[in-house]
Amino acid sequence: MKIRLIVTTAAAALALAGCNSKPETPTETTTVAGGETLPAADTTSANPTVGGAEMLPTKNIVENASASPIHKTLVAAVKQAGLVETLAGAGPFTVFAPTDDAFNQVAPQTREGWMRPAQKVVLAGLLKYHVVPGKLTAAELTAKIAEGGGKAVLKTADGQDITATKSGDAIVLTSASGNKATITQADVGQSNGVIHVVDAVLVPKM
């Protein structure tokens, strides 16, 4: 009788311990998973990839552009023009970022001329023409276009204007010299502003 009582008591204790431990393990796991997974998901969904590369909203314009495989020419031009420190600064800035294909549309002689040390000031002006002080999302650009009766005039860091209009759902930018670029990817968030990818190099009046 004593042996049976001991065995029964031990079995009951084990069963009770098992019952008590089950709720704790899932609860702890759920709490940890919830604490770690949700912020990661939020960070990922906050930004699109560009050219297949992850763009982190915690990094600045220069850092993210340098990670983009389709903005190598733009990054080289920013370095050549001495604008790295400016575009890595506090901002905020709205940058219309031409892709490598956009730069390849420019005549080779002109493109190579921009990269010469003697043309540093010209190159800096060209790049600043793609920068608008302040942060303007695609929704805010669209609102400005509507408020302006179909167009919005944006003052660039170069001092000249860019005109934004809509063509269907797309936002089209027209330079002071008359050439056009379309925003092909909008709202790439940066720690110091926003990048909108464009399919052409906007040329100011020289």
Closest by CA to 191, choosing from 52, 28, 63, 81, is 63
Other CB atoms within 10 A of residue 9 CB: 10
Distances in Å between the Cα of 30 and the Cα atoms of 24, 33, 180 are: 10, 5, 52
**Percent of the chain topping pLDDT 90:** 74
Q: Which residue has better confidence, 1 or 59?
A: 59
pLDDT over 60 (residue 42): no
pLDDT at 146: 96
Q: Which residue has the tokens 């005549």?
A: 107
Indicate the helix (H) or strand (E) that contains 190. Answer: strand 180-190
pLDDT at 31: 33
Point out the least confidently predicted range of 31-45, 63-77, 159-173.
Answer: 31-45
pLDDT over 90 (residue 201): yes
Tens digits of per-residue pLDDT, 164-190? Answer: 999 999 999 999 999 999 999 999 999
Nearest-Å Rg of the Cα atoms of the chain is 27
Tens digits of per-residue pLDDT, 70-94? Answer: 999 999 999 999 999 999 999 899 9
pLDDT at 206: 79
**pTM of this structure:** 0.77
Q: Please report which confidence band the pLDDT of residue 21 belongs to, taking 50, 70 and 90 as the band edges.
A: very low
CB 126 within 8 A of CB 203: yes
